Structure 1
Amino acid sequence: MTSASTDDIKVLERVKKSLEPDYVPAEGDPYMDKKQLDYFRMLLLEWKKSIHSASSVTLQSLQDGPIREPDLNDRASSETDWSIELRTRDRQRKLISKIDSALRRIDEGEYGYCEVTGDPIGLKRLMARPVATMTVEAQEAHERREKISRDD
């Protein structure tokens, strides 16, 4: 079974391929111009739609009834699979709120800029993680502070 973050990456790659192939943000373009913002808006909306579709399939499977495996080992394996599936859906529920937040930032003209430093996040980072809110440097500093406070 693939990890949840690997699944997110695969879904995001599928969404990117489904978007209009005529335009992909490039480093030479004006940063966060209308074309780039439209691209990221469509990317985020399609990503959200694909997450909702996947969760509908999970919900339908849950409604079909309980696990009816006669063998205890098979039942335990099925329950483990369901547990992993439900954790994945919970991660995706949290991801949807991040997508909604990114869409709000696009509407407010804040998308693509670090919430800590105000510097541009960068196209490569946004293409890899469209919900990013910090530059790589600010994110690393944040994670170091988090680690230090956990260790205390």
Structure 2
Amino acid sequence: MTKISTATRAAIKQEFPNLTRDVKKFPVRDGEEPWTVREAEELAALLLEDKERLERELLAADKELSDLLRNSGDGAGDDQADYGSSALEREQELTLVNNMRDLLDQTNHALDRIRKGTYATCELTDRPIGKARLQAFPRATLSVEAKAREERRGA
């Protein structure tokens, strides 16, 4: 069980005023105990903290990428190896920024699902995702079975 600070608890109450009521709507799989307010608060706190961290990191990464792009034409005497190294560095930074944006989007989507009372429901099957899956990966939108089906179709 994670300790939630007073400030985080206040942020949760402000961000999710109906959480105490909505948590009763979060479905569970057969054999699972119903969601408790505490469990929902812990996941909400984790997601809110991740959102803040990702926004900070994204700002810094965007600035670094801007600097890399701005300085990419400055090396008049650069040889091909330097140019290739710079291009690789820009590509890696761009990939990092895009991955961070995706993770932030997933985090915001999970927070929206908590707000709407649809958290813990599979977006494909409308069945429970499962508490253990959400506690391991709070951004999950699909049950294990739906995710496996989706991956088999994509393979």
> TM (normalized to structure 1)?
0.67
Q: 1:122 to 1:81 in 2, by over 3 A?
A: same
User: In the alignment, which residue of structure 2 is the partner of 1:114?
Assistant: 122
Aligned to 2:36: 33
* Stretches (4+) displaced over 6 A: none
Which of 131, 134, 140 lines up with 1:132 in the alignment? 140
Cα 1:118–1:66 shift into 2, 3 Å: same
Checking the alignment, whether the CA contact within 8 Å between 2:120 and 2:128 is kept in structure 1 is yes
Q: Residue 15 of structure 2 aligns with which residue? A: none
**1:45 lines up with 2:29 in the alignment:** no
Q: Per chain length, whose mean CA-contact separation is higher, i.e. which structure has more relative contact order (CA < 8 Å, sep 6+)?
A: 2
State the partner residue of 2:23.
none
Select the structure of larger CA radius of gyration: 2
Q: Tell me the equivalent position of 2:89.
A: 81
Aligned to 1:21: 2
User: Retained in 2: the 8 A contact 1:55–1:89?
Assistant: yes
Letter in 2 for 1:143: E
Q: Is the 8 A contact 1:32 1:112 kept in 2?
A: no
Q: 1:44 touches 1:99 (CA, 8 Å); kept in 2?
A: yes
1:63 shift after superposition: 4.1
When the two chains are superposed, the root-mean-square deviation of aligned CA atoms in Å is 2.5
User: Post-superposition shift, 1:133?
Assistant: 0.8
Counterpart of 1:66 in structure 2 is 71
How many residues in Structure 1 have an aligned counterpart in Structure 2?
124
Structure 2: which amino acid aligns with 1:101? H
One-letter amino acid matched to 1:111: Y
Aligned-residue offset at 1:142: 2.0
Structure 2 unpaired stretches of 5+: 5-30
1:145 and 2:153 equivalent? yes
Name the stretch that deviates more: 95-104 or 121-130.
121-130
User: Displacement of 1:30 after TM fit?
Assistant: 4.3
- 1:114-151 CA distance string (max 9 Å, x none): 2233332223322332111111111111222334xxxx
Unaligned runs of 5+ in 1: 1-19, 148-152
Q: CA deviation digits over 1:23-78, x for unaligned, max 9?
A: 7xxxx984332212211111111112211121222222244441355343123112
Distance in 1, matches of 2:98 and 2:138, equals: 19
